[in-house]
Amino acid sequence: MADSTSTTSTVPARRRADHPVYVVGGGPGGLAAAYALRARGIRAVVLEKSDRVGASWRRHYDRLHLHTTRRLSALPGLPMPRRFGRWVSRDDVVRYLEKYTEHHELEIVTGVEVSRLTRAADGAGWLLHATGGRELTGSAVVVATGYNHTPRLPDWPGRTGYTGGLGEPRRLVHASDYRNPEPYTGRDVLVVGAGNTGAEIAVDLVEGGAARVRLSVRTVPHIVRRSTAGWPAQYTGVLCRRLPVGLVDRLAGPLAKVSVPDLSAHGLPRPDTGLYSRVREGAIPVQDVGLIDAVRAGRVEIVGAVEGFEDGKVVLADGSRIEPDAVIAATGYARGLEDLVGHLGVLDSRGKPVVHGPRTTADAPGLYFTGFTNPISGMLRELALDAERIARAIHRAIAKAGG
| Residues within the interface to ligand FAD (CB under 6 A) | 24-30, 47-50, 55-57, 60, 64, 66-68, 73, 113-114, 144-148, 197, 340, 371, 378-380, 383
Angle subtended at Cα 106 by Cα 44 and Cα 114, rounded to the nearest 5 degrees? 55
What is the Cα–Cα distance from 207 to 216, expressed in whole angstroms? 18
Tell me which DSSP letter residue 348 carries: -
Q: Which residue is nearest to ligand FAD (CB)?
A: 27
Nearest approach, Cβ of 181 to ligand FAD (angstroms)?
16
Q: Which is nearer to ligand FAD, 145 or 331 (CB)?
A: 145
Smaller CB separation from ligand FAD, 325 or 382:
382
Looking at residue 27, its amino acid is G
Using the minimum distance from each CB to ligand FAD, give the nearer residue, 144 or 347. 144
Round to whole Å and give the CA distance between 272 and 107: 48
Q: Judged by CB, which is closer to ligand FAD: 117, or 252? A: 117
- Which of residues 99 and 313 has its CB atom nearest to ligand FAD in the complex? 99
306-310 vs 313-316, strand pairing mode: antiparallel
Q: Roughly what angle, to the nearest 10 degrees, separates helices 28-38 and 379-400?
A: 40
- 3 state SS of 158: coil
- The DSSP call for residue 284 is P
Comparison of 26 and 271: residue with beta carbon closer to ligand FAD: 26
Q: How far is the CB of 335 from ligand FAD (least distance, A)?
A: 10
Mapping DSSP to helix (H, G, I), strand (E, B) and coil, where does residue 351 land? coil
Closer residue to ligand FAD in complex, CB, 56/216: 56
Q: Minimum Å distance from CB 2 to ligand FAD?
A: 24
Q: Closest distance between ligand FAD and the C-beta of residue 174, in Å?
A: 12
Least distance in angstroms from the C-beta of 25 to ligand FAD? 3
CB of 334 to ligand FAD, least distance (A): 12
CA-wise closest residue to 1 among 293, 243, 360 = 360
β pairing state of 223-225 and 360-361: unpaired
Q: Give the nearest distance from C-beta 114 to ligand FAD in angstroms.
A: 4
Which residues touch 287 (CB under 8 Å, ≥6 apart)?
Answer: 67, 196, 223, 224, 225, 226, 233
